[in-house]
Structure 1
Amino acid sequence: MSGDLVAVWEVALSDGVHRIEFEHGTTTGKRVIYIDGKEVIRRDWMFKLVGKETFNVGSTDTKATINIDAVSGFAYEYTLEINGQSLRKYMENRSKVTSTWLLNLDGIDCRVVLG
């Protein structure tokens, strides 16, 4: 990964926690998305520096969207949506409908989720 890494999110889904990393080249418009260290989208040259990238996460193919917005000048804001909701809202709703326990079994961290 290059020095263009601008955002990292940890997303808890029914199949576990996924790490989403986003690279944004603000001079070339390059966009690269990694899920759990694996590159899933690469766009090396984009004229439009703002916009969105939509992709699927996890074994359940949960829909995720990264929104790229200009804040001022050459500053950008990156937000992640899961199933059309902001990540914070998604996690709040998920905690209302699921029960999650973190267990350590023989030195291995395990997550049990009941939905």
Structure 2
Amino acid sequence: MENRDFYCGLDVALFVIGGKWKPLILFQLNGQPRRFGDLKRLVRGISEKVLIQHLKELADDGLITRKDFKEVPPKVEYEMTEFGQSLARALAPLCDWGDANKPVIEELHRLKSSRRVLAPAI
């Protein structure tokens, strides 16, 4: 982790999981180790380059471990550390909020999108 002054605890948490992909990677690792190919398939839309970069950052921050089985073909597994599991527990209420409010957000997004389509061209 780079040296910096954090404003508050939320600043720390967002620094570690910042962006769209890291929380989704952690979600897929919560409860079981996964191979790279599994994560690539489960975290839909992520590029291989970004997945590699984020896995390295999550490992550097102590949230996950990388186990290389030193086999041919290569076999590598990623697993959440206890430290990472503590973050996953903190993110669980956010997941619950998303699950509970998904229909509302989807409807708002649908309405917003339809307004853009109906907006007159200037």
Give the TM-score, by structure 1 length: 0.30
Structure of greater Rg = 2
Q: Give the number of the structure with larger relative contact order, counting CA–CA contacts within 8 Å between residues 6 or more apart.
A: 2
Name the structure with the higher helix share.
2
Name the structure with the higher strand share.
1
